[in-house]
Amino acid sequence: MPRRSTYLHRSAPHLPRWPLALLLLLWLAGCAGPDLATRDDGNLSMERAMILSEARQALGTPYRFGGDTPRGLDCSGLVQLAYARAGISVPRTSRRQFETLPPIDEARPGDLLFFDTAGDGNASHVGIYLGHDQMIHAPGRGRRVTTTPVGLEYWQKRYLGAAAPAP
């Protein structure tokens, strides 16, 4: 004769799943950061044109932590160098730039894009928006100043906001 199990099996009450799904969606929506919105209208001020020209000239420059010369640049050093060409002074670090420069909702060519690449909620990376979904930036150790699409999921997830220090 087969042995009977002494374990009592009770089925859990069946609860509707849609409230849980709705709560999850609301939570995810609340965690979303700002949208990275851009506008390429083609009307550039002289300052913006100079910033973009200087940034393009820096393409291929080696990354150097703390670098702010054509011999080596970090992300905020690239911003300082390009903006100095247009006669605009900006703070030295990406964090200070993000905290002090005038924020905007839509980036135009020459504006700054800020990202939290360290995962601590602070601006730890900055790039210059070139237009047409591209930014120029100094990506990090062992790399060179380059362009990258801002529509990449990596950048979208880490985007904090934009600033427009140039007229």
pLDDT tens digit sequence for 50-93:
999 999 999 999 999 999 999 999 999 999 999 999 999 999 99
Q: Tell me, yes or no, whether 22 lies in a domain.
A: no
125 is catalytic: yes
The CATH number that applies at residue 73 is: 3.90.1720.10
Instruction: Compute the distance between CA of residue 94 and CA of residue 40 in angstroms, rounded to an integer.
Output: 24
Number of domains in the chain: 1
The residue annotated as part of the active site, out of 9, 14, 31, 75, is 75
Q: Tell me, yes or no, whether 114 lies in a domain.
A: yes
Give residue 101's pLDDT: 97
31 is catalytic: no
9 is catalytic: no
Q: Tell me, yes or no, whether 23 lies in a domain.
A: no
- What pLDDT band is residue 158 in, cutting at 50, 70 and 90? very high
pTM: 0.79
The residue annotated as part of the active site, out of 9, 14, 125, 132, is 125
Strand-pairing partners, residue 103, are 163
Q: Tell me, yes or no, whether 18 lies in a domain.
A: no
For the cut 80, the answer to whether the pLDDT of residue 5 exceeds it is no
Q: Tell me, yes or no, whether 152 lies in a domain.
A: yes
